[in-house]
Structure 1
Amino acid sequence: MQRRTILTGTALGVTSAAFGLSRPAQAARSGPATRDVVAIRGVTVVDAVGGARRGQTVLIRGDRILDAGPAHQVPVPPGATIVDGAGKYLIPGLADMHTHATGIDDTDPELYVVNGVTTTRQMSGSPEARDWQQQIAGGARIGPQWSIGSRIVDGSPSLWDGLDVDGSIHVAVADPVQARAAVRQEHATGVAFIKTYTRLTRESFVAITDECGKLGLPFLGHVPDFVELTEASDRGIRTIEHLFEIWYDTSAEENRLRRGVASVPIGSGDYNGWFNRMQPYEYAAARSYDRRKAEKVFRRVARNGTFVTPTLVLHESNDMPERIDRHDPRYKYFSADMIGYWDWALDNLYLPGRTPAQIAQSEDLFRRRLSLTADLAAAGVPLLAGTDLGTTYLMPGFSLHDELALLVRAGLKPIQALAAATLNPARYLGRRDLGVVARGAVADLVLLDADPLHDIRNTTRINSVFVRGRLIDQAQRQRMLADIEATVGQVRESAPVAYRGCPCHGPAQSIAVAS
């Protein structure tokens, strides 16, 4: 893939102030304790634990919820700042649990929070994400809490060889000894988890699971081509990313298809060659889906506490590139380089060579993915909302709302989709103080102008956002969006610097792939 370039927002001196945050919103509040309190009064609280509760008062002090409950039980202290919640709906801050920093535009943190996304998970290490994390922690800018994983740990030869030119995204391991060493090396850098990948041998994967167990380090990611989904779950994989690997364990023709998958040749950096050669096996597995077998597999996965991140927005763009909207009004918040990269990939990588039969097949495959997601949920497998940001046409924050809509389209109830972006991420992270609107919880909150349980698309009807207690009210949010638009407009006219994006594309007849 061509390496594209852009001047980042950091080079332009981007800070929280540049994105419309007033000074009081950034500074710690002072004065009497009651003056430090923000009270959201008369609001309908919606979370996956208590459902919808009308006529609530929520008190916030510092970065925590001081109290929450019916208005007659939670008095507003004198001197508190009042936010009128009448006719509005308060949900926990949202989480995007599968992201990759592209390095093209430096506006991801702010785009997340204006969209109500207050937690993100970075899936392939990233100097950019680590920089953002430090800037946010230091108060230089506002953004989500970041869980940052290891570099991708893949087999050797790796799908990433030659694409990840400086080794910042992946490490290739040829055997169990190298696999264990890679885990120890990544652990020493302070990563939150080890990310496993597609071409690991079974022996190397087992070594990773064992070494992670010794270190108390979670491992998660792709189930390798040579490992059964159930074995990965039994060995403790924390989350399974995407739906690609799930078909084989649930196929009536599993043995035959696994022999075919094992025979697929691969060379260094042959990402899209692998993807194209795997696609017929994936579709055959999807068409031979055995619902009774699947139910047994999914209940086993659920008992193990394994989470699944479907990333339906990724699959939708991969499976149906013809339906991508090139004129989405949200694109005004992205630079010409970002949009140019997306358009270039669509014209040169996604669309060429697709026949009517292939288009029909991929549309059918996406419909089956939606049904698969519903079956996972029905079996009790906890789902996580994630987008695979870094893939073409996926947008920080905005695409998370698209994912919620697709989860409901798949058959989930709005409250289940909301749980996938709030309560389930908190449980994955081992946090009782996230993903709920309750006393003592972190004050990551989104105030909506319409009911998300009536229509999940109402999660986009954002009035205000609280980011660890910092209020971004409606006016500030609009200023932030306007400043982001102006900033990427400046970038369009600026001198370039190196782009460190996701090099996931290959020959002209390839389809975009997931990382």
Structure 2
Amino acid sequence: MTHHHPAGTTAFTDARVIVGDGTTVLDDAVITVHDGLITGVTRAPAGDLGAANVVSLRGKTVMPALVNPHGHIGYMRGTVCDPAFYSRDNILDHLRRFVYHGVSTFQCLGTDWNGTEVAIRDEQRSGALADPDLATLFTAGSGLVAAPTAGQASGAPFFAVDAVHQVTDPADGRAFVRELAGQGVDAVKFWIDDRGGAAAKLSPEACREIVDEAHRHGIKAAAHIYTVEDAKTALDAGADILAHMPRSPEPDQELIDRLVDRDIAVFTSMSVQGPARTGWLDDPFVRETLPDAAIEDLRTRMRAREPEPLFDTGETFRRLQQNFATLHQAGVRLVYSPDTGVFAQLPGVAEHRELEALVEAGLSPLEAIEFATRRSSRLLGLTDRGVIEAGRRADLLVLDADPRDDITNTRRISDVVLHGRVVDRERLRRQWQAEHEDVRAR
């Protein structure tokens, strides 16, 4: 396809369209786009297309671009996550990688260092940063953890210990959330986690102060939890989002009832725990954007753990699959969450691995796609994307194969259309490959 945003109306014809609502698929459909917005989605024929720029997508499947509400940006270079890599340039690189791999929107939860992400997000929203190849950035700014006492480790994620705020007492937590509100953060993130007994854990009182201050400013609060007990602490505090499914013990009826009654969003965060399979590293989808040395380094690290994942254990993953089924059957609002940017969760790639994990956990491919498009858009309060219908942004993922046959077909990307403009993926790919050659030549 032509890599520009054509004037007038574009009609994408002859496509199989996965709408993104979890059920609807239109064969031989026409998507008309004007000024970046979808103006119609019809079964062919669509009437007179004489005034339109007509682009045939015969043999292709079109779905909405992915929307990721949970990850961490700027810390990974190649396949290694390290605070030494954090920079504005690396964040921008990740936002381009998201677009290349079909992700239109990304929210970083709580690991912003010195307001770098807030600044980029504000530049995007003001138009000062008008690069069309960047995913839309949302950020929770810097998250909150309990301040460690002598001899304790920090409860912060290992790669962002210096980026998060260490809460000394409940009043301090409230004061810091007030600062975050002044930055206009899109969410507030706090960690309830003692890291296996090695770290201090936020007190219930501190959690209540954090969430109450967030709500005073109309901001949703997301709690990182792993256990049923900590999930209940988060709910007691009034949290709106659980950034992970509880792992142990199995969710009890009390927790399930509370999650359903308050319509709490529970992030799936499954693929970050997945088994240490390495076959996906050979996918052209991965290899065309990363140097061989980085891929082989990750393969070596993963094989050293086989059959366990880089993070936690295979038993945890099996428990997550079981708990997913329990929560989903009970009607809990589960939301797609790749937890991108850590361990083996490569920016732009993790999003597709999470889709695969959701199908393995029992969803149909169409249901998994709805989780990653309409449902995640709604969580971010976005009504302009996530579904292929009139009035929405034309953020489209054009695929060479139907993901209903195999969910990994979402990785067989022919084109990405962002706000009606066909992304020049070849140019991005050449740019990354030139950087790899430059590094190798040094």
Partners of 2:51 and 2:71 in 1: how far apart?
A: 41
**Which of residues 47, 58, 61 is equivalent to 1:89?**
61
Question: Which residue number corresponds to residue 33 of structure 2?
Answer: 60
Alpha carbons 2:308, 2:314 under 8 Å: kept: no
Asked if the contact 2:247–2:320 (Cα under 8 Å) also holds between the matched residues in 1, the reply is no
Once the 2 structures are TM-superposed, how far is the Cα of residue 132 of structure 1 from its aligned partner?
5.3
| Matched residues, number | 406
Closer, same or farther: CA 235–71 of 1 in aligned 2, 3 Å: farther
TM-superposition CA deviations, 1:38-75 (whole Å, max 9, x none): 11112222123251122321111122111222224x43
- Match of residue 210 from structure 2: 208
Give the Å deviation of 1:337: 8.7
SS of 2:55's equivalent in the other structure is strand
Change in 2 beyond 3 A, CA 1:332/1:381:
same
Partner of residue 268, structure 1 = none
Q: 1:306 aligns with which of 264, 283, 295?
A: 264
Percent identity of equivalent pairs: 25
CA-CA distance at 1:128 after TM superposition: 5.5
SS in 2 for 1:422: helix
Residues 117/369 of structure 1: CA separation in 2 closer, same or farther (3 Å cut): same
Q: Deviations over 1:237-277 (max 9, x none)?
A: 2321123xx144xxxxxxxxxxxxxxxxxxxxxxxxxxxxx
Closer/same/farther in 2, CA of residues 447 and 339 from structure 1, 3 Å limit: closer
For residue 170 of structure 2, what is the aligned residue in structure 1?
A: 176
**CA distances 1:415-452 after superposition (whole Å, capped 9, x unpaired):** 22111110111111222222111110111111122222
| Alpha-carbon distance between aligned partners in 1 of 2:232 and 2:160, rounded to the nearest angstrom | 30
What does residue 145 of structure 2 align with? Answer: 154
Note the 1:237-386 alignment, pairs <5 A: 237-243=239-245, 246-248=246-248, 285=249, 289=250, 293-294=252-253, 297-316=255-274, 320-321=275-276, 323-324=277-278, 328-329=282-283, 330-331=286-287, 333-334=289-290, 342=298, 351=305, 362-386=313-337
Q: Aligned to 2:401, which of 444, 450, 453?
A: 450
Contact between 2:156 and 2:191, CA under 8 Å: does it hold in 1?
Answer: no
Aligned equivalent of 1:48, options 16, 20, 38: 20
Q: In the alignment, residue 112 of structure 1 is paired with which amino acid?
A: F
Where does structure 1 lack aligned partners over 5 or more consecutive residues? 1-20, 31-35, 249-284, 495-515
Change in Cα spacing, 1:225 to 1:421, as seen in structure 2 (3 Å) is closer
Alpha-carbon spacing, 1:218–1:57, altered in 2? closer, same or farther (3 Å): same
Q: 3-state DSSP class of the match of 1:393?
A: coil
TM-score (norm 2): 0.81
- Measured after TM superposition, the shift of residue 376 of structure 1 is 1.9
Task: Name which of structure 1's ranges 131-140 and 146-155 shifts more when overlaid on structure 2.
Answer: 131-140
1:362–1:48 distance in 2 versus 1, CA, 3 Å:
same
Paired letter, 1:95: V
Give the whole-Å Cα distance in 1 for the aligned partners of 2:135 and 2:36.
13
Match of 1:485 among 427, 433, 436: 433
Matched residue, 2:136: 145
Over residues 194-241 of structure 1, what are the superposed CA-to-partner deviations in whole Å (9 max), with x where a residue is unaligned?
111122111000111111121111110313879642453365423211
Cα 1:440–1:326 shift into 2, 3 Å = closer
- More helix per residue: 1 or 2? 1
Query: Is the Cα contact below 8 Å between 1:336 and 1:492 reproduced in 2?
Result: no
Rounded to whole Å, the distance in 2 between the matches of 1:311 and 1:405 is 12
* 1:462–1:324 Cα change, 3 Å: closer
Verify the 8 A CA contact 2:36 2:421 in the aligned structure 1: yes
Q: Which of the residues 401, 415, 420 maps onto 1:464?
A: 415
Read off the aligned partner of 2:181 and give its amino acid letter. Answer: H
In 2, Cα distance between the equivalents of 1:121 and 1:161? 17
Aligned to 2:195: none
Structure 2 counterpart of 1:232 = 234
Backbone CA RMSD of aligned residues: 3.3
Structure 1's 336 and 457: CA in aligned 2 closer, same or farther, altered over 3 A? closer
Unpaired stretches in structure 2, ≥5 consecutive residues: 78-89, 149-153, 193-200
Could you tell me which amino acid in structure 2 is paired with residue 151 of structure 1?
Answer: S
Q: Specify which of 335, 338, 354 is matched with residue 387 of structure 1.
A: 338
Q: Which amino acid aligns with 2:33?
A: I
